Each structure stands twice: as structure tokens, then as C-alpha cells.
Amino acid sequence: MPQRLPRRAVRPWKAQQRGWRATLCGVEPVELQSSGVRLRPWRADDAPAVLLAVRDPTIARWNPVDRPDPDLRVAQAWVEDRGDWTGSEHASFAVVTADDDALLGSVSLFKIDRVHGNAEVGYWIVPRSRGRGVATTAVDLVARWAFDVGELHRVQLYHAVDNPASCRVATKAGFHLEGRPRESFRYGDGQLHDEHLHGRLATDGPLAG
């Protein structure tokens, strides 16, 4: 679940879909859509909605921003960072409603490693949109895009063991539970948590149902 976006640490990759492409200089943004949920690149005017989201206690605990008491400037910097696809380090999307563009959450593919054909995915969902399958849809969309367009072989997802909601999302999105790293990440509560590692392969096939 944490979106651990690195800075200039991942190899560039390439793909093509309806004019979208990746180059040595970076990737051009793309939009994805399914089941009334649309994934689009972040925009500057998303900052106020992001600020409300990152102040939510659940998001602040499991997916914190850099500061414990974020303000609008922090949200603006967050949006600017994730809206910049030029470094080939990540592909970050605002999760919005397909009809009126209301913010539902965030999902990012990051640590993209073209040599080994893998990446990580992280996400958060605003409180009013939880329990509706939004996270599962967003994570599945990004994973299928990574496989079908990015030609990656593996996408993995980490979440704290103490966050069972993310375990359910990972499982429903086709990510198999593969291990439990001990005290492997310090979350927003300041504590090192054991995590679950989930993985999904391009060869795993479509989701059941």
C-alpha cells in the first residue's frame, strides 16, 4: 500500500498504446478506465482534495506524506511530484469517478525495473470510497497495464500486517501472499511494522469472477 516513490533510481522502459510511449527521457501519461473508475495523471488543481485525503487518519498512518501536519504547499508538492512522469521512475494516477472527475484515491506503479521486468504498486482511497471495490479496480487496472503495455512480468505490493483491509484488496486484485518481512517499514505511526508481500505475475491469468 505505501507509495514509496524513488528519485531517479529506476531504469527506463518502453511500451506503446494509442500513441502512449516511453522513451529514454521519460513516459507520456495515459488514462485507464474500468467499472466507472478512471485513472488519469495528477493535475495542479487536485492539491486541495489531496490535502483533505492525506489528513485522514488512516491514510496518514499507512501512507503518510513527508510531514506530520501537511498543509496546502505540501499537497501541491506531492501532486507536482506524482504528476511528473519525465524521469521514468513511476507512473502515478489520480483515481477519479468516470463521470464527474471526483477524487477517489491514488495509485502508483513505481520502482519500475525494465531489466528484471518488475515494479511495485501502492495506493490509497479516500474514506467515502472505501469498501466499494475502488482500490481493487485501480490496482488491477495498473497491473494489467504494466503487463500488457509495459511488458513487465511481475508487480508486487507491500502492506503492514496490521492493515488487513489492504490484504483483502491485494488478494481480490490477484496478488498472491508470498511472505512476511519482519519490521521492514516505518509507517506514519512511527513504528516499524511487519509487512505482507504480495505478488502478481503476467502469467497468473485474469481475475476470477
Report yes or no on 184 lying in a domain: no
Report yes or no on 134 lying in a domain: yes
Computed over its alpha carbons, how large is the radius of gyration of the chain? 16
Structure confidence at residue 64 (pLDDT): 84
Report yes or no on 163 lying in a domain: no
Q: 43 is in which domain, residue-wise?
A: 16-155
Report yes or no on 161 lying in a domain: no
Which 8-state DSSP code applies to residue 130?
Answer: T
> Contact at 8 Å (CB) between 25 and 86?
yes
Q: 199 - beta bridge partners?
A: 156, 176
Structure confidence at residue 4 (pLDDT): 57
**Consecutive 10-residue averages of pLDDT for the chain (209 residues):** 46 30 53 95 97 95 83 94 85 96 96 92 96 96 92 96 97 97 95 98 83
Report yes or no on 1 lying in a domain: no
Structure confidence at residue 24 (pLDDT): 27
- Number of domains the chain is built from: 1
Report yes or no on 39 lying in a domain: yes
Structure confidence at residue 209 (pLDDT): 59
Report yes or no on 172 lying in a domain: no
CATH number, domain with residue 99:
3.40.630.30
Report yes or no on 130 lying in a domain: yes
Q: Which of 152, 53, 144 is nearest to 111 (CA)?
A: 152
